[in-house]
């Protein structure tokens, strides 16, 4: 992808040096989750960037280098981070986040593996200059995440999600439309990550824990302690999926 003549070559948000970001990268939205993942799941974790509090760490999992980098909330932030990670050498990007579930059979703490992310955001249409585009996860990461889930005894929901610019949606019943279209869940970053990865010929995927159940009755939020357990399982799954890639 052309970088544009006015754009700096060195990353100014992910302030790591070349060589400090692994080819395999987990992408949580929340900096505290990035720190938690590094401290609890990596060996030899070291902080490689903390610009704007967007913590990034590199360590080792099953003998191979791995990084975890905060994306922040929303597609504009995720797009900056994704672009800079790719410039720094990232090749396999796996978002680990939370989502609002639209499927009536979904329970809080359930796992979603995204195959595609409808770009209900402004970032992707800005990138494509308004040309309709279908951001998709890379098959290798969908495949690896699915088999990692099965190996861990989980039964994931696998299918399309929607990436929205809004957490607080003023639409009365957003699930009515999205569920009728077969969309499993809503989150806020995957469409931009998938799009930039496809443009730059690297692989991206997205695994999500259902933190909000969105139905005609309203929104039910997961308890923090339940979320913590579900996130632990999702992180192990994500690390196993990255490790299984060729
Ligand atoms: N909407 C958008 N993003 C989300 C939600 C939600 O309800 N829950 C977790 N991420």
Q: What is the pLDDT of residues 226-236, one digit of tens each?
A: 999 999 999 99
Nearest CA to ligand 1 atom 6: 100
Mean pLDDT over each residue of the chain, to the nearest integer: 96
The residue whose CB lies within 8 Å of the most ligand 1 atoms, and thus the one to mutate among 188, 208, 215, 219, is 188
List, by residue number, the catalytic residues. Answer: 212
Rounded to whole angstroms, how far apart are CA atoms 197 and 98? Answer: 20
What φ, ψ does residue 217 adopt, rounded to 5°? -80, -10
CA 14, 190, 65, 47 dihedral sign is positive
The residue whose CB lies within 8 Å of the most ligand 1 atoms, and thus the one to mutate among 186, 215, 218, is 186
How would residue 22 be classed by pLDDT, with cut points 50, 70 and 90? very high
Helix H or strand E encompassing 182: none
How would residue 10 be classed by pLDDT, with cut points 50, 70 and 90? confident
How would residue 1 be classed by pLDDT, with cut points 50, 70 and 90? very low
* Residue 168 alpha carbon to ligand 1 centre in Å: 8
pLDDT tens readout for residues 125-169: 999 999 999 999 999 999 999 999 999 999 999 999 999 999 999
Mean pLDDT, residues 37-46: 98
The token pair that represents 227 in the structure block: 């979320």
Phi-psi region of 130 (alpha: psi -120 to 50; beta: other; left: phi over 0): left
The residue whose CB lies within 8 Å of the most ligand 1 atoms, and thus the one to mutate among 167, 189, 219, is 167
pLDDT at 148: 98
Rounded to whole angstroms, how far apart are CA atoms 207 and 237? Answer: 9
Rounded to whole angstroms, how far apart are CA atoms 70 and 88? Answer: 15
For the cut 90, the answer to whether the pLDDT of residue 9 exceeds it is no
Ligand 1 close to Cβ of residue 206 (< 6 A): no
The token pair that represents 204 in the structure block: 């991206």
Give all domains of the chain, ordered by start, each with its CATH number: 24-244 (3.40.50.1580)
Nearest CA to ligand 1 atom 10: 99
Mean pLDDT, residues 91-95: 99
pLDDT tens readout for residues 165-185: 999 999 989 999 999 999 999
Ligand 1 close to Cβ of residue 187 (< 6 A): yes
* Residue 126 alpha carbon to ligand 1 centre in Å: 22
Poorest-confidence range of 14-18, 69-73, 160-164, 221-225? 14-18
Degrees, nearest 5: CA angle 89-92-93: 100
* Residue 186 alpha carbon to ligand 1 centre in Å: 6
Ligand 1 close to Cβ of residue 208 (< 6 A): no
* Residue 192 alpha carbon to ligand 1 centre in Å: 16
* Residue 223 alpha carbon to ligand 1 centre in Å: 15
Ligand 1 close to Cβ of residue 211 (< 6 A): yes
* Residue 100 alpha carbon to ligand 1 centre in Å: 4
């Amino acid at each position: 992808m052309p970088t544009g003549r006015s754009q700096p070559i060195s990353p100014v948000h992910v302030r790591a040096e070349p060589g400090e970001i692994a080819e395999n990268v987990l992408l949580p939205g929340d900096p505290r989750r990035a720190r938690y993942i590094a401290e609890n799941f990596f060996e030899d974790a070291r902080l490689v960037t903390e610009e704007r509090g967007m913590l990034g760490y590199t360590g080792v999992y099953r003998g191979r280098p791995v990084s975890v980098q905060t994306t922040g909330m929303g597609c504009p932030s995720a797009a900056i981070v994704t672009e800079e990670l790719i410039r720094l050498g990232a090749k396999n990007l796996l978002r680990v986040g939370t989502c609002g579930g639209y499927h009536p059979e979904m329970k809080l703490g359930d796992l979603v593996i995204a195959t595609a992310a409808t770009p209900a955001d402004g970032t992707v249409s800005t990138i494509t200059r308004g040309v309709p585009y279908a951001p998709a996860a890379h098959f290798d990461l969908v495949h690896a995440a699915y088999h990692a889930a099965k190996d861990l005894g989980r039964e994931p929901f696998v299918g399309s999600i929607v990436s929205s610019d809004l957490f607080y949606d003023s639409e009365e019943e957003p699930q009515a439309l999205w569920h009728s279209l077969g969309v499993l869940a809503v989150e806020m970053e995957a469409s931009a990550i998938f799009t930039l990865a496809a443009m730059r010929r690297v692989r991206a995927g997205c695994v999500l824990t259902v933190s909000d159940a969105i139905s005609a009755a309203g929104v039910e939020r997961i308890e923090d302690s339940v979320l913590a357990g579900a996130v632990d399982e999702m992180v192990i799954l994500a690390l196993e999926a990255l490790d299984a890639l060729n």
